[in-house]
Amino acid sequence: MRRPLIAGNWKMNLNRADAVALSSDLVNADKSSEVDVLICPSHIYLDAVSSTLGDSGISLGAQDVYFEAGGAFTGEISTGMLSDVGCQFVILGHSERRHVMGETDSLINKKVKAVLEAGLTPVLCVGETLEDREAGNTEAVVKTQFEGSLADLSPEQVQKTVIAYEPVWAIGTGKTASPEQAQEVHADLRKLLNDRYNSETSEQVRILYGGSVKPDNASNLMSQPDIDGALVGGASLKADGFTAIINAANQNVA
Ligand code: 13P
């Protein structure tokens, strides 16, 4: 049985005071203990949020990292720096990094390897654009991203990753994939994990859904057999809404 994971991606939002207040509200919220909770603030507030989270059990993640351990890479942040401030997870290959910053599968693969080597957990994002979907290319696009981003990894390494399926057309648009549409792609990903690695890997790896997850659609999405949690953008910026999503995941814990 995979333990649900609800992750909040705060993206480039909030200031220091708001980030600390939101994390403090989440620490104090009445929320399920059967669900793993992760929040991913902007790099610059990781340290402050880390202090607020303390030993609350809420995990801390970054929204990106560079693959080199250190040196002349102006503006970048290393895995060592993330560990130093208490991060355990790193979102990689988010669609905004793929499509706005032009990240490729081969760059994302280097980052996945660096994150695993540092003992952190990658949350690898994959997902098709509306154009891909309308052309009937969803399965092929997701497969290419999966294979490229996870190239050269052992089953043991893949078992330590989290995958997030985020259809680009559903991100920040209010258009959620239907539970059936999401389940179809999650099942494809589960099959890829089985075929490329082994059954242990496909049974263990958590696959999150992301794209306009809200308190009112979370439960239906997470009742699907291959949806193990959510990667939440906009609705993670309010403690009440995010807590409702955490508690919706709990309803589906067998
Ligand atoms: P929204 O929940 O705002 O659609 O964002 C989803 C997302 O990109 C999470 O990483």
Q: What is the pLDDT of residues 58-84, one digit of tens each?
A: 999 999 999 999 999 999 999 999 999
Helix (H) or strand (E) holding 137: none
Ligand 1 centroid–CA 146 distance in Å is 19
- The count of structural domains within the chain is 1
Ligand 1 centroid–CA 157 distance in Å is 26
Query: Which residue is closest in CA terms to ligand 1's atom 2?
Result: 233
Ligand 1 centroid–CA 133 distance in Å is 18
Domain of 141?
5-250
CB 123 within 8 A of CB 92: yes
* Position 56 pLDDT exceeds 90: yes
Q: Supply the pLDDT for residue 252.
A: 67
Ligand 1 centroid–CA 70 distance in Å is 30
Percent of the chain with pLDDT over 70: 99
Q: Supply the pLDDT for residue 250.
A: 86
Ligand 1 atom nearest residue 213's Cα: 2
3 state SS of 184 = helix
CB 79 within 8 A of CB 111: no
Please list every protein residue whose CB sits less than 6 Å from any atom of ligand 1. Answer: 9, 94, 166, 171-172, 210-213, 231-235
Mean pLDDT in residue range 30-56: 97
Query: Which residue is closest in CA terms to ligand 1's atom 1?
Result: 233
Q: Which of 231, 237, 242 to mutate to test the pocket of ligand 1 (most atoms within 8 A of CB)?
A: 231
- According to DSSP, the residues that pair with 165 across neighbouring strands are 126, 209
Q: Which of 130, 171, 207 to mutate to test the pocket of ligand 1 (most atoms within 8 A of CB)?
A: 171
Kindly provide the residue ranges of all beta strands, DSSP E only, lying in the chain, ordered along the sequence.
Answer: 5-9, 36-40, 59-62, 89-92, 121-126, 162-165, 206-210, 229-232
Q: What share of the chain is helix, strand, coil (3-state, %, to 5)?
A: 50, 15, 40
Ligand 1 atom nearest residue 95's Cα: 8
Q: Which of 5, 6, 10, 11 to mutate to test the pocket of ligand 1 (most atoms within 8 A of CB)?
A: 11
Q: What is the CATH number of the domain that holds 196?
A: 3.20.20.70
Ligand 1 atom nearest residue 214's Cα: 2
Percent of the chain with pLDDT over 90: 96
CA-to-CA separations, 251 to 23, 94, 117, 233, in angstroms, rounded: 23, 28, 35, 21
* Position 254 pLDDT exceeds 60: no
Q: Supply the pLDDT for residue 253.
A: 65
Residues annotated as catalytic (active site), given as ranges: 94, 166
Ligand 1 atom nearest residue 172's Cα: 4
Ligand 1 centroid–CA 71 distance in Å is 32
Q: If you average pLDDT over every residue of the chain, what do you get?
A: 97
- Of residues 96 and 175, more confidently modeled: 96
